[in-house]
């Protein structure tokens, strides 16, 4: 990997996973973090889809960055993202129909994800394609792991299952355990995000506001 991942690219890739996380530090993409984390499966799929789309739209915008007129740059970014998402959705509909039916809502949500516009505007407009690609992957993964962690807790305590398979033993229910319905409601995602932010900030002094 040596030359492929220099110190700088490594930082670009690893930063978003922790100290520059899109959700917990940049506070982007919170809306979709609420919407798709009631269960683990949609959260994982959303994480992967966003990672792919951020990485590739970052590359496209980075290639175009010197030609894009300043006054319509946001529109250009939006068109690139929307076109990419539409093409992916059309291809899924033709070759993986079942997946596309399950994803129908989320695919549309990708376009509105603030992380996309945030990364395009903040990184791809000013950096070379390869670095932008890495930045996209890093932010995508940074987004995905938070989503998966939230979904893990929400599905486990809200529905007693993981990936749809029951995990909590029947015995426990017989003894009077009940699933916490609050966990599957959207506000719980916010509380869990807050818990993650709390843990992260208590461990990283530099993230704490004075």
**Residue 94 binds another protein (CB under 8 A):** yes
184 binds another protein (CB under 8 A): yes
Q: Which of 90, 169, 194, 204 binds another protein (CB under 8 A)?
A: 90
Could you tell me how many helices (H) and strands (E) the chain has, helices first?
9, 2
Interface of this chain with another protein, residues 25 to 54, rule: CB under 8 A? 35-36, 38-39, 42
Interface with another protein: number of residues (CB under 8 A): 34
Among 2, 3, 7, 70, binds another protein (CB under 8 A): 70
Q: Closest distance between another protein and the C-beta of residue 35, in Å?
A: 8
* Contact flags string 100-119 toward another protein, x per CB under 8 A: -x--xx--------------
* Closer by beta carbon to another protein, 5 or else 64: 64
Residue 177 contacts residue 168 (beta carbons within 8 Å)? yes
Which helix or strand (DSSP H or E) is residue 209 part of? none
Shortest distance, CB of residue 78 to another protein, whole angstroms?
A: 11
How far is it, in rounded angstroms, from Cα 146 to Cα 192? 10
Q: Using the CB atoms, write b or e for 87-99: b if 16+ within 10 Å.
A: ebbeebeeeeeee
The string of DSSP codes covering 35-104 is: HS-SSHHHHHHHHHHHHHHHHHHHHHHHHHTTTS-GGGHHHHHHHHHHHHHHHHHHHHHHH-HHHHHHHH
Residue 162 host element (H or E) = strand 161-162
Decide if residue 155 touches another protein (CB under 8 A).
yes
Residues that bind another protein (CB under 8 A): 35-36, 38-39, 42, 66-72, 75-76, 79, 83, 86-87, 90-91, 93-95, 97, 101, 104-105, 154-155, 158-159, 181, 184-185
């Amino acid at each position: 990997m040596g030359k492929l991942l220099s110190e700088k690219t490594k930082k670009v890739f690893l930063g978003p996973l922790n100290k520059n996380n899109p959700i917990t530090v940049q506070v982007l993409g919170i809306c979709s973090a609420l919407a798709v984390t009631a269960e683990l499966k949609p959260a994982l799929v959303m994480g992967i889809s966003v990672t792919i789309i951020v990485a590739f739209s970052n590359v496209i915008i980075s290639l175009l960055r010197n030609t894009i007129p300043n006054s319509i740059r946001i529109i250009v970014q939006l068109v690139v993202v929307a076109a990419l998402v539409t093409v992916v959705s059309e291809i899924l509909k033709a070759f993986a129909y079942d997946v596309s039916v399950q994803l129908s809502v989320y695919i549309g949500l990708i376009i509105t994800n603030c992380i996309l516009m945030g990364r395009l505007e903040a990184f791809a407009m000013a950096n070379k394609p390869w670095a932008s690609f890495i930045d996209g992957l890093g932010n995508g993964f940074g987004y995905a792991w938070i989503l998966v962690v939230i979904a893990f807790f929400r599905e486990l305590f809200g529905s007693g299952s993981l990936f749809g398979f029951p995990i909590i033993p029947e015995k426990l229910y017989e003894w009077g355990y009940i699933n916490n319905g609050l966990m599957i409601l959207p506000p719980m995602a916010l509380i869990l995000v807050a818990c993650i932010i709390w843990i992260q900030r208590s461990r990283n002094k530099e993230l704490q506001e004075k």
